[in-house]
């Protein structure tokens, strides 16, 4: 995805590796990068690509509607946390992590 095409819209929607449509808005992603995780500033493409091309997806065991998408970039991993509804879902947050911190039931790729 080119950065220019992304900046022309306020709603970003992608189809993830599980076939669900997931969305976020420009304003909400700015909130994530300004308040919660400034290390992701300027990394919208990387977060959306994590949903599309995840290396691994895990489901939270305590809250089964929460899914964590992981994609390796250099030495670190981007984790995009989403909430799945019936047919689609939305981005809850995203952050950079180490592989050792991954939790939950692995659902993709299947073991």
Q: Is the pLDDT of residue 105 over 70?
A: yes
pLDDT digits (tens, 9 = 90+) for 89-102: 999 999 999 876 67
Contact 69, 83 (CB under 8 A): no
Backbone angles phi, psi at 46, to 5 degrees: -65, -40
Domain region containing 26: 3-108
Would the pTM of this model clear 0.75, i.e. be above it? Answer: yes
CA gap 30, 17 in Å, rounded: 24
CA gap 23, 83 in Å, rounded: 10
pLDDT digits (tens, 9 = 90+) for 18-40: 999 999 999 999 999 998 899 99
Cβ partners under 8 Å of residue 62, min gap 6: none
Q: Is the pLDDT of residue 3 over 60?
A: no
pLDDT digits (tens, 9 = 90+) for 43-76: 999 999 999 999 999 999 999 999 999 999 988 9
> How many domains, in total, are found in the chain?
1
- Residue 104 region by backbone torsions, left for phi larger than 0, else alpha for psi between -120 and 50, else beta: left
For residues 13-17, average pLDDT = 96
What is the pLDDT at residue 111?
66
What is the pLDDT at residue 2?
43
């Amino acid at each position: 995805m080119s950065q220019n095409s992304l900046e022309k819209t306020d709603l970003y929607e992608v189809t993830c590796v599980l076939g669900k449509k997931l969305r976020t808005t420009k304003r909400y992603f700015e909130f994530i990068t300004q308040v919660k995780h400034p290390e992701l500033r300027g990394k919208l493409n990387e977060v959306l690509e994590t949903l599309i091309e995840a290396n691994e997806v895990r489901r939270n065991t305590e809250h089964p509607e929460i899914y964590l998408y992981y994609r390796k970039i250099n030495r670190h991993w981007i984790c995009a946390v989403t909430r799945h509804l019936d047919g689609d879902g939305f981005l809850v947050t995203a952050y950079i992590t180490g592989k050792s911190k991954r939790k939950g039931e692995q659902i993709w790729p299947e073991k």
